Amino acid sequence: MEKYIKKFINYEQEKMKKLVQELAKLDFEGKATSYQKSMKEKYQKELIISDNFIKMYMIQPEKWPLLSEIFNDFDVLSKEISQVNNLNSKEQMALIFHIIKKNLATNLLQKDTTVIDLWDLLKHNFKTITKAELENLIETGEFRTLLEQDINTLTNKEQAIREELDLFIDNYNIDINNIIKDHRLINEHYLSKQETYTMADILITINALKHLKISNDLCASIELNLTQKLAKRTKKEATKSVIIKSNIHKTKTKTYNEIQAELSNYFDFDTNSPTKYLELDDIIYCISLLIELGQSKEELYTFIKTVDIANNCYKINLITKYISLYDKLKFYEESCAYQRQLKNLEDLFQELFLLNNEDYFYAKSYFEEEFNQILKYLPRNSIYEIEKARELIRTKK
């Protein structure tokens, strides 16, 4: 069992002991006040919640594919996790993704799958089976077997339980489409690509977590953790690929110190990473300086690739990005055959500033969709950047 799960279970167990003690104080003879009744109900409810959390996290991952029920009360889980003082932010994040992985293991993303909220199931008052028996079926994975097995092969008791469960499922009402959508997004943009996700993937993942009603504080903490991990990975990738520093020192010209000082405003050669988000014009300017220092095309490509990786860590305003890339889009429009799409995008851009707020929101969404489609056409050869850098050098002479 993972350390963070043990911490959480220990917290819930200690909480249950305290709740039992508080309930014992409320055991008295005579008529109870309305306040005492409400407190008793509150403690009993919290006992059930803690007990359910313990049982849920005790289920081993190898048993997950045998389950049919999912957990969907992430607002309650968020609140509970935030109460555990000895959990760090990474452990809090791990507890959330642990349950999302459990949900995914129940074939949540498959067509025609039966999805039941675990707590709704446990809260229901069944006549043919006790809560303890139901919990045992869930923990052992036999609950799913009971639902899928041929009813004629079941014992009389099992058939009675099955019929009542089928009736519960038939009348069960849950917005499954949104749950599936949010889990699919989290799986596609983070869980399935934990070593390759981008800043865009982080934003999509956090948005899906918010839809699942995970608290804003936890979402902010998860976003920070994922962003820091991305930045660390980006720096590591840059360290592997950038060899500019050693090559620059081989160049001995009168302007070497001046050029190096100018470049240091944009790129830190000690960490092999940009000092900030670099606009396309900044990149072209840096390339022109590197060319003056005698860098080869391969070294220029390495520099451009490194900057691109780092730039992906930033969330840039859509309009700013379009304006920055416009000349590059025009440069490739014929060779990449997207003249019509670019003309449409230009017209959309002009119209954006003439619309009211409601229409602007819709038009901007459409503009972003079209813009992203055109970006897919752009080649990865960096010919534009290097050509523009050489032009910049010629204008200096």
On the question of pLDDT at 249 being above 60, the answer is no
- 3-17, 48-62, 227-241: lowest mean pLDDT where? 227-241
Of the pLDDT bands very low, low, confident and very high (cuts 50, 70, 90), residue 30 is: low
- Is the pLDDT at 243 greater than 60? The verdict is no
Going by pLDDT thresholds of 50, 70 and 90, the confidence category of residue 117 is: low
pLDDT at 11: 92
User: 251: pLDDT confidence band, cut at 50, 70 and 90?
Assistant: very low
Q: Note whether residue 170 is domain-resident.
A: no
For residue 253, name the pLDDT band (cuts at 50, 70, 90). Answer: very low
Residue 247 has pLDDT above 50, yes or no: no
Q: Give 118 or 147, the one with higher predicted confidence.
A: 147
**Where a domain ends, among 10, 34, 58?**
58
**Is residue 286 a part of any domain in this protein?**
yes
Q: Is residue 45 one of the residues assigned to a domain? A: yes
Asked if the structure places residue 136 within a domain, the reply is no
- Expressed as residue numbers, the domain containing 18 is 1-58
**123 or 318: which carries more pLDDT confidence?**
318
Q: What is the mean pLDDT of residues 186-209?
A: 87
Q: Is residue 44 part of a domain?
A: yes
Q: What is the pLDDT of residues 335-366, one digit of tens each?
A: 888 888 888 888 888 887 777 766 777 788 88
Mean pLDDT (whole number) for 25-34: 68
What is the mean predicted confidence (pLDDT) over 147-171?
A: 80
Q: Which whole number is the average pLDDT over 29-38? A: 71
Q: What is the mean pLDDT of residues 81-107?
A: 90
CA-to-CA dists, residue 347 to 340, 341, 352, 367, angstroms: 11, 10, 9, 10
Contact 223, 202 (CB under 8 A): yes
Residue 260 located in a structural domain: yes
Q: What is the pLDDT of residue 22?
A: 84
Mean pLDDT value of segment 80-98: 92
Give the mean model confidence (pLDDT) for residues 75-82: 90
The most confident of the ranges 118-122, 228-232, 275-279 is: 275-279
Residue 90 within any structural domain of the chain: no
Domain boundary among the residues 40, 58, 76 is at 58
On the question of pLDDT at 6 being above 90, the answer is yes
Is 242 a residue whose pLDDT tops 60?
no
pLDDT value of position 283: 92
- Flag whether 224 is in a domain: no
Higher pLDDT, residue 322 or 132? 322
Of the residues 58, 80, 97, which one is the last residue of a structural domain?
58
Q: What's the pLDDT at 81?
A: 92
**218-238 mean pLDDT:** 78
Q: Mean pLDDT check: name the lowest of 23-37, 85-99, 182-196, 316-330.
A: 23-37
Number of domains composing the chain: 2
